[in-house]
Chain A
Amino acid sequence: MQRDGHSAARVRTIPLIAPSVGALLVWMIVPLAMTLWFSFRRYNLLNPMLTGFAGINNYRFLLRDPALPSILVITVVLVLAVMVLTISLGVVLAAIFNTGFPGQGIARVLMISPFFVMPTVSALIWKNLLMHPVNGLFAGVLRSLGFPVIDWFSSFPLISIIIIVTWEWLPFAFLILLTALQSLDEEQLEAARLDGAGTIAVFFFIQVPHMARAISVLVMMETIFLLSIFAEIYVTTAGGPGIATTNLPFLIYQRALLAFNIGGASAAGVIAIILANVLAALLIRTVARRLDV
């Protein structure tokens, strides 16, 4: 204890830490303050005459937009659906992969690969090569089996996006859960088996609780990343048909960079930030209560 205090006194750590803290402070506070400020301003890039304080008009306009409720629902559904799918599939897959079968290493590499594919490439593989209603692989397979062809992005736009994003994020959940599972004490498993626990009992009462910490980390990370899903929508459906796949990021992009309505886009940005934090707080609390035994 004394030795630590001695070292700390001899080495001044503030100059080492300050650049990181400073950079992150600026990175967090300046844009956040600007978003807040613009959200109360009248500001449109196409109309320089339009200036001044807007009060809560940007928010009022946004909240009265008949499309907003469905956009919020789409945003949350996208996050939750992908999260539930990736984590539940990931838990099961991690348990299967933990058995140490022949060729486990290679199978695992195949399993995690989609995570390293850049989002625009993933989206285009699915859009063109797989889900295309005329030339896609799925259409070809369905046709040769005599089934009607599905036009994925017009018939099931949101489901299609969910499939693509799940494919991208399942490896992430899988890899983290598998790593967590591999740290499970072998003796504990052995003891449970000696007490007569079968594979299913071991899975539910030992393996799943052991993954609790990893699951809550996943919930937090996925909330943040999935709330910003943009490239997949940009490349495949451009938010359509209608607003069927418009989530908050896409709405903000449309308002800000296509309609140049800075005030309105900023108000939507503030809502996205609030949503991210509320959702993450709620989800993490739920997960923590359920799983941290």
Chain B
Amino acid sequence: MSGVKTWLAGGVAWLIAIVNFFPIFWMLLASLKTEVEAVQTPPLFIFHPTLANYRDIFALQGYAGYAFNSIAISVLATLLMLLVAVPAAFAMAFYPGRYTRDILLWMLSTKMLPAVGVLVPIYLLSRDLGLLDTRTALVIIDFLSNLPIGVWMLFTFFRETPKDIIEASRIDGANVGQTILYVLLPLVAPGIASTALLSVILCWNEAFWSLNLTAHNAAPLTAFIASFSAPQGLFWARLSAASVLAIAPILAFGWISQRQLVRGLTFGAVK
């Protein structure tokens, strides 16, 4: 492409990218203002930044507890998912059978069930099992809703690993366990890591079940932030500080794993 066109495309792309990112940047600015500055009209672009809001959300709003819930739920749901998905993906990628394709497609089809269609039974089951407002309920739900994505993503990674290497190690006398541990695992570790990262991102940002199934004890950050929606116009700066902290780690994860993310979210159809 000619130089002028590239520069033109670049200019347009940068402009759109900046506009697109602006709401996040604006929130970052708001988090560094005082409450009065945050609601000031006309909007304030130049001000003396303060970190007071970040201190306040820990001191006054109990931010740490909600952050702990988010971390605990995301990590446990992801570990559980990997524990179940890795063997399945391994088996289907390395020892495909007559039904492998059908099983994979069926797993994909479970995503066709919209969450809202099963809100009532899940709510009632959680209530009857005493799991309302517990981290356990969200761990189980996040684990199950990410399981199909996990199996698919791992399957596409495993499938790209050369099969011969397994045969070779078996011929050399290694048993299945040794083959997996010493030969296969180092090869597929990056794929497992990206799958884990995607799962953490999805769990962290999950809002539908968090809002409907938690109250105070198990509320993760998604639900905590929503609680700011009630008092109109109050605490914008503090809300922004809480929001910035809530999205920062996931933004970083997302930036790192852009490419693998595409593979996971399209069930391997685009990579």
Contacting residues, chain B, for A102 (C-beta < 8 A): 10
Stretch at the interface among A15-23, A47-55, A61-69, A285-293: A15-23
- Tell me the complex Cα distance, A262–B68, Å: 33
| B168 within 8 Å of A (CB atoms) | no
| Closest residue of A by beta carbon distance from B150 | A20
| A121 within 8 Å of B (CB atoms) | yes
| Closest residue of A by beta carbon distance from B201 | A116
- Tell me the complex Cα distance, A104–B6, Å: 11
Residue interface mask A103-118, B partner, CB < 8 A = 1: 1100111111111111
Known contacts: A13-B92, A96-B13, A273-B114. The answer to whether A34 contacts B124 by CB under 8 A is yes
| Closest residue of A by beta carbon distance from B41 | A140
Q: Are B254 and A230 in contact (CB under 8 A)?
A: no
Q: Are B251 and A276 in contact (CB under 8 A)?
A: no
Residue interface mask A1-29, B partner, CB < 8 A = 1: 00110011001010111011101100110
Identify which of A101, A115, A269 contacts B13 (C-beta below 8 A). Answer: A101
Identify which of B97, B122, B226, B243 contacts A13 (C-beta below 8 A). Answer: B97
| A143 within 8 Å of B (CB atoms) | yes
- Tell me the complex Cα distance, A30–B167, Å: 41
Known contacts: A27-B144, A118-B250. The answer to whether A231 contacts B208 by CB under 8 A is yes
- Tell me the complex Cα distance, A75–B90, Å: 39
| Closest residue of A by beta carbon distance from B230 | A235
Q: Are B176 and A100 in contact (CB under 8 A)?
A: no
| B85 within 8 Å of A (CB atoms) | yes
- Tell me the complex Cα distance, A27–B254, Å: 28
Q: Could you say which of A3, A27, A176, A252 has the most chain B C-beta atoms within 10 Å of its C-beta? A: A27
Contacting residues, chain A, for B42 (C-beta < 8 A): 140, 143-144
- Tell me the complex Cα distance, A129–B32, Å: 14
Q: Are A180 and B270 in contact (CB under 8 A)?
A: yes
| A282 within 8 Å of B (CB atoms) | no
- A contacts with B, residue count (CB < 8 A): 103
List CB contacts (< 8 Å) of B249-265 with chain A. 250-251, 253-255, 258-259, 261-262, 265
Q: Are A175 and B262 in contact (CB under 8 A)?
A: yes
Identify which of A20, A34, A107, A170 contacts B107 (C-beta below 8 A). Answer: A20
Q: Are B120 and A24 in contact (CB under 8 A)?
A: no
Q: Are A227 and B7 in contact (CB under 8 A)?
A: no
List CB contacts (< 8 Å) of B1-37 with chain A. 1, 5-7, 9-10, 12-14, 16-18, 20-21, 23-24, 26-27, 30
Shortest distance between the CB of A11 and any CB in chain B (Å): 5
Contacting residues, chain B, for A137 (C-beta < 8 A): 26, 43
Contacting residues, chain A, for B13 (C-beta < 8 A): 93, 96-97, 99, 101, 104, 107
Contacting residues, chain A, for B9 (C-beta < 8 A): 96, 99, 101
Q: Are B117 and A35 in contact (CB under 8 A)?
A: yes
Ranked nearest first, the 4 interchain pairs of A and B with the lowest CB-CB distance are A101-B10, A34-B121, A31-B118, A231-B207
CB pairs A–B below 8 angstroms (13 shown): A3-B167, A93-B13, A93-B16, A118-B225, A125-B26, A135-B39, A137-B43, A140-B41, A179-B262, A199-B1, A217-B266, A221-B265, A231-B207
Task: Spell out A's residues near B (CB within 8 Å).
Answer: 3-4, 7-8, 11, 13, 15-17, 19-21, 23-24, 27-28, 30-32, 34-35, 38, 93, 96-97, 99-104, 107-130, 132, 134-135, 137, 139-141, 143-144, 167, 170-172, 175-176, 179-180, 183, 199, 213-214, 217-218, 221, 224, 227-228, 230-231, 234-236, 248-249, 252-253, 256-257, 262, 265-266, 269-270, 272-273, 276-277, 280
Task: Spell out B's residues near A (CB within 8 Å).
Answer: 1, 5-7, 9-10, 12-14, 16-18, 20-21, 23-24, 26-27, 30, 38-43, 84-85, 87-88, 90-92, 94-95, 97, 103, 107, 110-125, 144-145, 147-148, 151, 166-167, 176, 201, 204-205, 207-208, 211-212, 221-223, 225-226, 228-229, 233, 236, 239-240, 243, 246-247, 250-251, 253-255, 258-259, 261-262, 265-267, 269-271
